[in-house]
């Protein structure tokens, strides 16, 4: 299992993202909300309906914003505040042994 760890230096903290938050974090590359919604739905359909995907996305984006991991600019593009850093993928987890 791989994990994504994010460091937010402006409010020093480490966060371990679950797979959904990790996907959203990666998609927040400065794109508009409409493009983000489309990209997220493309990634999760057919497991989610468009409405389910949108609700899920709103919740995750809100959580990432609250933690200072992403930010929304004035024209509603979603991106990472600099210098938020992401750890490279690590082989972290349990092997069930």
Chain positions contacting other proteins, by CB under 8 A: 5, 7, 9, 12-14, 83, 85, 87-88, 90-97
CB of 64 to other proteins, least distance (A): 17
Measured from the CB atom, is 76 or 92 closer to other proteins? 92
CB of 90 to other proteins, least distance (A): 6
Q: Using an 8 Å Cβ cutoff, are 23 and 40 in contact?
A: yes
For residue 16, give the nearest of 97, 74, 81, 86 by alpha carbon: 86
Measured from the CB atom, is 36 or 70 closer to other proteins? 70
The residues, any chain, with a CB within 8 Å of residue 33's CB and separated by 6 or more, are 76, 77, 78
DSSP letter at 3? E
CB of 77 to other proteins, least distance (A): 24
């Amino acid at each position: 299992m791989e994990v994504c760890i994010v460091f937010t230096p402006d409010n020093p903290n480490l966060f371990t993202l679950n797979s959904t938050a990790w996907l959203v974090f990666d998609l927040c590359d400065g794109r508009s909300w409409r493009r983000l919604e489309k990209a997220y739905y493309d990634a999760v359909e057919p497991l989610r309906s468009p409405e389910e995907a949108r609700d899920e996305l709103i919740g995750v984006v809100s959580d990432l914003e609250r933690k200072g991991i992403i930010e929304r600019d004035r024209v509603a593009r979603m991106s990472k505040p600099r210098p938020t850093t992401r750890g490279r993928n690590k082989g972290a987890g349990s092997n069930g042994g």
